[in-house]
Amino acid sequence: MTNTVMSYENAAEMGLSAEEFDRVCAHMGRIPNLTELGVFSAMWSEHCSYKSSRRWLKTLPTTGDRVIQGPGENAGVVDIGDGWAAVFKIESHNHPSFIEPYQGAATGVGGILRDVFTMGARPVALLNALRFGAPDHPLTRYLVSGVVAGIGGYGNCIGIPTIGGEVNFNPSYNSNILVNAMAVGLARADRIFYSAASGAGNPVYYIGAKTGRDGIHGATMASAEFNEDAASKRPTVQVGDPFAGKLLLEASLELMDSDSVVAIQDMGAAGLTSSSVEMSAKGGLGMEIDLDQVPVREDGMSAYEIMLSESQERMLVILKPEAAETAREILSKWDLDCAEIGHVTDTGRLVLMKDGALAADIPLAPLVDDAPEYDRPHEQSPALPVIDSGTISTGDSVITVLKTLLASHHLASRRWIWEQYDRDVMADTIASSGGDAALVRVHGSDRGIAVTTDCTPRYVKADPEMGCMQAVAEAYRNISAIGATPIAITNNLNFGNPEKPLIMGQIAGSVTGMGKAAEALGTPVVSGNVSLYNETDGKAIDPAPVVGMVGAMDNVAQSAGIALDTKGLAIFIIGQDEKTNDGWLGCSVYADIMTDNPDAAPPPVDCAIELANGTFVRDQITAGVINAAHDIADGGMLPALAEMILAGGIGADICLPAGGNSHGWCFGEDQGRYLVATDQPDQLKDAAASAGVAATLIGTSGGKALKLTGGDSISIVELKTLHEGWMPDLMAKSPQR
């Protein structure tokens, strides 16, 4: 074992405080060496230990009738019927994607895919939630280009469809973009694989690509603020290989099908460190590893480098003793390394050998069970006023406002982005980007999985608790609008520095709001990720607690889309009665684009109403009464209607209310509402009355324009030009680094 004496300075360089270094020494009973301190720093990083958020995450609802596996494994697992399970998770790759956008985004996709197939599931869908800086910021086009290319490059090459997501632009992300990747897979419910080690003496195998020096201390880097030296952190960004990822996917699934696997774990953040520690700790056992047996790309790699490398496309597997030859044959067939590097022990310690000598000897419990957990001081965000819509409405015509909003960075089409992704590979995509939720068929059946991501950072910044409730509610509406039943949530909590009380207050409020909405809507949180210290030079991002939601359908043929593609359909607003015509314009897209955007409270969320309206819409879609449906969200009712018109190519005649605030009625962002189109209006009205759900007839489909009472109108051609022109125009300019 190296005799190099570690110090407080060494600990600080690895992201550990002086107090944490003292705790390490106490647990070790001595001063740790370099490798040992490196292992502690990775496992105690914010990225791996959730030391600032764990107290709050424990309050989230995580169980339910359909939950097979909640938080604590590589991914969450829920029952979707007929013996099938959906396996899913969302995770961030924020810092790496700012430093090196292509590889940062690509390895984010690769990493989240491994989390899913490590559970024994075949990935069937990818989504993403992206936040970039102001459109006119000099880095924005460069970062958008690189990130989109990285997502497409990995997903397209590995052959998994990228079918949904969201993209926002805001100056708070100028120097700290957010790249959240979500993956969904399918497995038989009785064939889920887990990571807990078992059986002292069982062999530990390394499978996949070789280990290099890329990504060393990536977990620690992801747990720190940025400064002007961000570019110097490029060596901490991993390098992905989607073709090797595809080989690893197929080899891992085949290995699991061969009944050879006791436990399996992806080498993600912190690489071999996290996989060996987590597998051992979950099983209440220990592990001994000979690092000389680890396949490496470079000569002379130290124990520290091997343990902290985050090289991609690697797995750690505990095999049944008799399965060695089977494993080697399978991995050889897929041209991947397969090396026995150690064995399970009953010592409760991680023992590392290198060059025939002891490199590290660490008690496992302190790395996981006794990792720091902080109850950081937190301040509640100041309450903002509820603004009367009439006080901020402009004198512009409704159509003029609609044109402005549709062509803005908030609402303009993201087609330029999602057309770079293969959305149809595997041939089971039913609905993808451009609607409320994506939908994939369970291959060979009528059953389907609906998926979506959602968050409105301006709401969360204004009121963290209510804003995060809204993120859950909108995801719920997205899933309901396609006709699927919402089941469960995965989350990615993106915030600034938790050591600042106001930021910690945002985290606490958001988790509280998420928990309330998830409980009320019956969508427990089964997996997730926390990404903190998203700051540059002390300036934090707008908080973005992204919600990924999964739902299920018995028959995908009964699904609805947003397209208004039939003449003569009656158009209703569900969740709004005829007397509600003022609308909530505070904290809205309208306020941001059309006014000086005064600070204002976001629209409130009533989960009981969300539940009733969502259930009603799903039931009517399944019954064949609703032909098309669309959640009313950013921008309000009229932009949502414009999106339905553009998707189907059929116009609409809309009757504006006789009184009240027409701008609020058209552009207010009141929650719990849907636009639906039906050829059975009487049946819809009767069903709504029976269910106690508000349903207001506002118009009829037909023609080639959106027409409003009073003669104001806009053609579909002009709508399309406005809506789809902004993003290509932005990206046509030369990107800058």
Task: Please compute the mean of the pLDDT values over residues 87-98 and round it to a whole number.
Answer: 95
| Whole-angstrom distance, CA of residue 480 vs CA of residue 620 | 11
Q: Is 93 a catalytic residue?
A: yes
Cα dihedral 168→181→246→313 (10° resolution): 120
| Three-state DSSP state, 736 | coil
Strands 525-531 and 485-494: parallel
How do residues 297-315 score in pLDDT, each as one tens digit? 999 999 999 999 999 999 9
How do residues 344-399 score in pLDDT, each as one tens digit? 999 999 999 999 999 999 999 999 988 999 999 999 999 999 999 999 999 999 99
List the strands of the sheet with 261-266, edge to edge: 261-266, 314-319, 203-208, 337-345, 286-290, 349-354, 357-363
* Catalytic-labelled residue, pool 27, 47, 410, 443: 47
Residue 714 above 90 pLDDT?
yes
pLDDT for residue 735: 67
pLDDT for residue 673: 98
Residue 737 above 80 pLDDT?
no
How do residues 240-256 score in pLDDT, each as one tens digit? 899 999 999 999 999 99
Task: Please compute the mean of the pLDDT values over residues 97-105 and round it to a whole number.
Answer: 95
Whether the Cβ atoms of residue 188 and residue 68 lie closer than 8 Å to each other: no
Sequence-ordered alpha helix ranges (H) in 335-456: 365-368, 398-406, 415-418
Residue 78 above 60 pLDDT?
yes
- Burial class of residue 218 (count of CB atoms within 10 Å of its CB; 0-12, 13-18, 19+): buried
How do residues 459-492 score in pLDDT, each as one tens digit? 999 999 999 999 999 999 999 999 999 999 999 9
User: What is 64-88 written as a DSSP string?
Assistant: -TTEEE-BTBSSEEEEEETTEEEEE
How do residues 390-448 score in pLDDT, each as one tens digit? 999 999 999 999 999 999 999 999 999 999 999 999 999 999 999 999 999 999 999 99
* Catalytic-labelled residue, pool 27, 93, 343, 410: 93
pLDDT for residue 232: 47
Task: Please compute the mean of the pLDDT values over residues 2-21 and round it to a whole number.
Answer: 88
How do residues 201-221 score in pLDDT, each as one tens digit? 999 999 999 999 887 865 454
Whether the Cβ atoms of residue 272 and residue 180 lie closer than 8 Å to each other: no
| Whole-angstrom distance, CA of residue 103 vs CA of residue 70 | 30
| Three-state DSSP state, 151 | helix
| Whole-angstrom distance, CA of residue 76 vs CA of residue 451 | 14
Q: Is 47 a catalytic residue?
A: yes
Residue 223 above 60 pLDDT?
no
Task: Please compute the mean of the pLDDT values over residues 40-67 and round it to a whole number.
Answer: 96
User: What is 436-475 written as a DSSP string?
Assistant: SSEEEE-TTSS-EEEEEEE--HHHHHH-HHHHHHHHHHHH
Q: Which residues pair with 363 in a beta bridge?
A: 349
Within 13 A of 266's CA, how many CA atoms are on the CB side?
23
Percent of the chain with pLDDT over 90: 92
pLDDT category of residue 233 using cuts at 50, 70 and 90:
very low
Percent of the chain with pLDDT over 70: 96
| Whole-angstrom distance, CA of residue 357 vs CA of residue 292 | 10
pLDDT for residue 235: 53
pLDDT for residue 679: 98
* Model-wide pTM > 0.85: yes
pLDDT category of residue 234 using cuts at 50, 70 and 90:
very low
Average pLDDT over the chain, rounded to whole?
94
Residue 51 above 50 pLDDT?
yes
pLDDT for residue 3: 59
